[in-house]
Amino acid sequence: MTRHRRNFCLGLVAAMFACLGGVAMAGEGRSGALQMKLDKPVTLTLRDEPIIKVFDKLSRSAGVDFEISAATLKFLPYGRATRLNVSIPGVTLRLALSQMLSPQGLTWLVDGGRIAIVPSEPLYRMCRRATYDEMTLLGKLLTRPVESIDELASVVGTLRQATGEKKLKVVFPAFMNKADFAASFKQASAALPCPAADWLGLLLRPIGLTWYLDGDTIVVLSHKAQVKRQLGQVVSLRYQNTRVANVLLDLARKGRVQLNMSPGVMQALPRRVRKNFTLIMADASIAQALEVISGATGLEFPVTDNGFLVKTSLYLEVGAEAAAQKPAQKTAKRRGPRYIIKTVLHKTDGQSVDMYIMPDDLPPALQKALQADRAKVIRNLSKHYGLDKK
C-alpha cells in the first residue's frame, strides 16, 4: 500500500510539472508570436482618424491586439476624439509604433499577448489632460534631437534650438546646486546626439531633479515634489475584502510610483484588517486614500524620492508591543461583578418567566445588598462541602 501511495504521489508531481510546463510553453508561444508580428513590415496610411479607429485598423492590418485604456485617454487633449495622421511605409510594426506614438506623447509596452498604449513618462508627469499645444511641444521634445552643444550654451537655448519653439521657458528651483549642475551638464552632453527630452533627463536625474511641462514652460523640481504631484491625482477606488498589501500596490500603480515596505510591516496589523480591507472612494486623490488607510490601520506612508514607504506608526508599534507583553491583560479586566442574577416573574395568567439580569443594570444600593447575599451563599456552600475547615 505504501508503494502504491508513493507511486501515486510521484505520478501527481509529474503531472503537475507537465501542466506547468504546458502553461509556460503556451505563454512563451504567445509572446514569441507577438514578437514575430512586431518585426513584420506594415503598410498603412490614415488621415485625420480618431485614435480608437486608428488602432482598430492597425490591429486588423498587423494581426495584433491593442489596448488603449480610459486612464491613457484622459491625458490626451480630446480623449477618444483625439485624431491622428498615420503613414507607415512598409516598416516593421515595432518601428512604426514608436514613430507614430512619440509625437503624441505616448509609448507602448507588451502586456501579455497584446500591446498596451500608455502615456510616456513626460506626459504622465503632467498629471492632467494635455492641451493640443502642450502635446505638440511635448512631441517635439520627445522626437527632435539635440545634436551637439557648446559649453557656454544654456539649457533653454539648447531646447529652443532643438524644438524650434522660441517662447519655450525653463524654471529651475532656487535650491539647485550650481556646481553639481555644471558637472551633470558636461556628463549629459557626452551622450549626444539624443532626443531633447532624453538629454534633459540625463541632465537632471543625477542631481535628484526631474521636470514636467506646463504650457510653454518646463518646470524643474525634486523627485519627491513630483511624487507628491502624482499622488495628488484624482481617482475612484473600490476595494472590497482585499488584502491591504494589494490595495497599496494598486494605488502605487495608479500613481506610477514605487512602493517600498519596511520588513514585517504587514504582520503588525490584525489578521482581519490585513486580509479583508474595504475602501470605496469616489473622486478622491491617491494621497487622500492613503490618509484614510493610515487612519484605519495605523500605517504611515512617508513620501520618498521614487514613491512612498509603508511603515508602522508609533501608535501601532506601542499597541503591538503592549499586546505581546500582556496577552492576558485584556481578558483579565472586567467591569463590575462577575455573576448573573436570575429572577422569576409570575404573570396573572399563571405563567412564569425567567429573567436574567447583569448586576451593572441595578442601582448601587441593590448591588451592594446582593453582593452581601452572594458572600453569604458562598460561605454556606463552603460549609456544606467542608471547605471552611481547610
* Domain edges within the chain: 38-119, 142-221, 232-325, 341-384
Q: What is the C-alpha to C-alpha distance for residues 234 and 127, in angstroms, rounded to an integer?
A: 9
232-325 shares the fold of 38-119: yes
| Residue given cell 469616489 in the structure block | 282
Q: Mean pLDDT, to the nearest integer, of 61-86?
A: 94
For 84-88, 138-142, 193-197, 380-384, which range has the lowest pLDDT when averaged over its residues?
Answer: 380-384
- The pLDDT of 361-382, averaged and rounded, is 80
Q: What pLDDT is attached to residue 5?
A: 45
Report the C-alpha gap between 285 and 53 in whole angstroms: 32
Percent of the chain exceeding pLDDT 90 equals 62
Which CATH fold would you assign to the domain 38-119?
A: Phage tail protein beta-alpha-beta fold (3.55.50)
DSSP state of 130: P
90 contacts 36 by C-beta, under 8 angstroms: no
The pLDDT of residue 348? 63
- pLDDT value, residue 112: 83
CA-CA distance, 283 to 235, in Å (whole number)?
A: 5
Cβ atoms of residues 57 and 100 within 8 Å? no
Please give the Cα distance from 200 to 146 (Å, whole number): 10
Q: What is the Cα–Cα distance from 289 to 248, expressed in whole angstroms?
A: 10
Q: In one letter, which amino acid is 146?
A: V
Which DSSP symbol is given to 129?
P
Q: Tell me which fold the domain 232-325 belongs to.
A: Phage tail protein beta-alpha-beta fold (3.55.50)
- Alpha helices by DSSP H, the chain: 2-38, 51-62, 70-73, 93-101, 121-124, 132-143, 155-163, 178-189, 196-204, 223-231, 244-255, 271-275, 286-297, 314-325, 329-332, 364-384
- Work out the burial of residue 58: count CB atoms within 10 Å of its CB; fewer than 13 is exposed, 13-18 middle, 19 or more buried: buried
Structure confidence at residue 148 as a pLDDT band (50, 70, 90)? confident
Grid cell in block for residue 79? 480623449
